[in-house]
Amino acid sequence: MIVTTKKLFEAAYGKYAIGAYNINNLEQTMGLFRGNLDSQAPFIIQISKGARSYTHKIMLEGLIRSADMVFPEAIFAVHLDHGDEETCYDCINSGFYSSVMIDASHEDFETNIAITKRVVEAAHAKGIVVEAELGQLGGVEEHVKVDEANAKLTNPDQAREFVERTGCDSLAVAIGTSHGAFKFTGDQGIRFDVLAQIQQKLPGFPLVMHGSSSVPQEEVERINKAGGKLSGAKGVDENQFAQAAKLGVTKVNIDTDGRLVWTRVHREYFLEHPENFDLRPIGKVFMAEYAKFIAHKNEKLGSAGQLEAVRKLLG
């Protein structure tokens, strides 16, 4: 069942976070639904602009609508990840997405507010919720001075003003994480001090943590052993998701870790089965491994086991 993130966030706020997972193809879709049902978790499917044009946006919509029929117990939101204004309108008018993200975080404060406000008005008119972003995610290098790093993080005072003036439903905040497999060069991590300040200014308001892949070292080692070259890859400590959830993070975005599962499975499989040229055996291994990965993340997020409670809340 496709729902907006509003009810999911109501159920989760302050207690656990909902996993937001990016998908691109059939195998990911199957693994995603299986993993969430295995762990009895509500979830968010994220579709990026790149995913929409990988095959065709209608193809992804068809996959998800089919999965909804194959797995009728699933409760999930369909969300545009990092949308620009034009793509947001396309999704709002599609009748398929229940949530969009307008990412105008690269613009100055006032322009970000103006763009976000326009998208919020269009989305709310159709019952669709909006995630916006303030601050800039980036790789945290050890040589970067604290002042310089802080400048890109979300300013807690501005966060409150931004939410009040735009009317957005959730806010992606920059709290030290970044996208991709190379997030940290030293022992940096989530800036809980900044997150706590943001929550103080926006009590009860759902916050979103992007760049939340943990880049498991065991996964990286297996990929490298099977011919990959990912040395130095490092991510967020997944054991800190619970602490972030207590501080108002209700949505945790994970994409890179899923790509690592795909890479490890395929590299190892073809190394061990050099004679194989059939796509189904490996596809089956991937779907099972992807489902296991999703269920594991949901345990760390605390969303595992929450499906029935959310169903009751939805009435």
From ligand G3H, ligand 13P, Zn ion, none, which one binds at residue 98 (CB under 5 to 8 Å depending on kind)?
A: none
Q: Is the dihedral of CA 61, 65, 67, 72 positive or negative?
A: positive
Residues 153-182 that bind ligand 13P (CB under 6 A): 179-180
Least CB distance to Zn ion at residue 130 (A): 15
The closest of 22, 31, 120 to 70, measured between CA atoms, is 31
Which residue in 44, 53, 55 sits closest to 22, CA to CA?
Answer: 44
Identify each DSSP E strand in 192-288 by its residue range: 207-209, 249-254
Out of Zn ion, ligand G3H, ligand 13P, none, what residue 254 binds, judged by CB under 5 to 8 A for its kind, is ligand 13P
List the x/- string, 243-262, binding to Zn ion by CB under 5 A: ----------x---------
Nearest alpha-carbon partner for 170 in 52, 313, 8, 15: 8
Residues forming the site for ligand G3H (CB under 6 A): 22, 48, 50-51, 81-82, 179, 255
Q: CB-wise, 106 or 280, nearer to ligand 13P?
A: 106
256 is an interface residue for ligand 13P by CB under 6 A: yes
In contact, 3 and 305? CB cutoff 8 Å: no
Decide which of ligand G3H, ligand 13P, Zn ion, none touches 51; Cβ closer than 5 to 8 Å per partner kind.
Answer: ligand G3H
Tokens of 17: 């976070």
Instruction: State yes or no: residue 210 binds Zn ion (CB under 5 A).
Output: yes
Residues in 271-310 that interact with ligand 13P by CB under 6 A: none
Nearest CB to ligand G3H, comparing residues 81 and 169: 81
Q: Select 23 or 247, whichever has its Cβ closest to ligand 13P.
A: 23
Given 38, 81, 103, 108, the catalytic residue: 81
Query: Cβ(266)–Cβ(282) under 8 Å?
Result: yes
Judged by beta carbon, residue 57 or residue 199, the one nearer ligand G3H is 57
In this complex, which beta carbon is closest to ligand G3H, that of residue 103 or of residue 169?
103
Partner touching 213 among ligand G3H, ligand 13P, Zn ion, none, CB below 5 to 8 Å by kind: ligand 13P
Q: How far apart are CA 118 and CA 148, in angstroms?
A: 31
Instruction: Build a one-symbol-per-residue string for 195-214: x at contacts with ligand 13P by CB under 6 A, - elsewhere.
Output: ---------------xxxx-
135: closest CA among 77, 75, 211? Answer: 211
Q: Roughly how many angstroms between the first and final C-alpha of the chain, as a whole number?
A: 13
Angle ∠(307,312,315) on CA atoms, nearest 5: 130
Structure tokens given for 287: 């779907």
Spatial separation of the C-alpha atoms in residues 315 and 312, rounded to whole Å = 5
90: annotated active-site residue = no
Using the minimum distance from each CB to ligand 13P, give the nearer residue, 22 or 199.
22
List Cβ neighbours of 140 (8 Å cut-off, separation of 6 or more).
149, 176, 178, 183, 184, 185, 188
Residues that bind Zn ion in the complex, under the rule CB under 5 A: 210, 253
In the complex, the residues that contact ligand 13P under the rule CB under 6 A are 22, 81-82, 179-180, 210-213, 253-257
Catalytic annotation, residues: 81
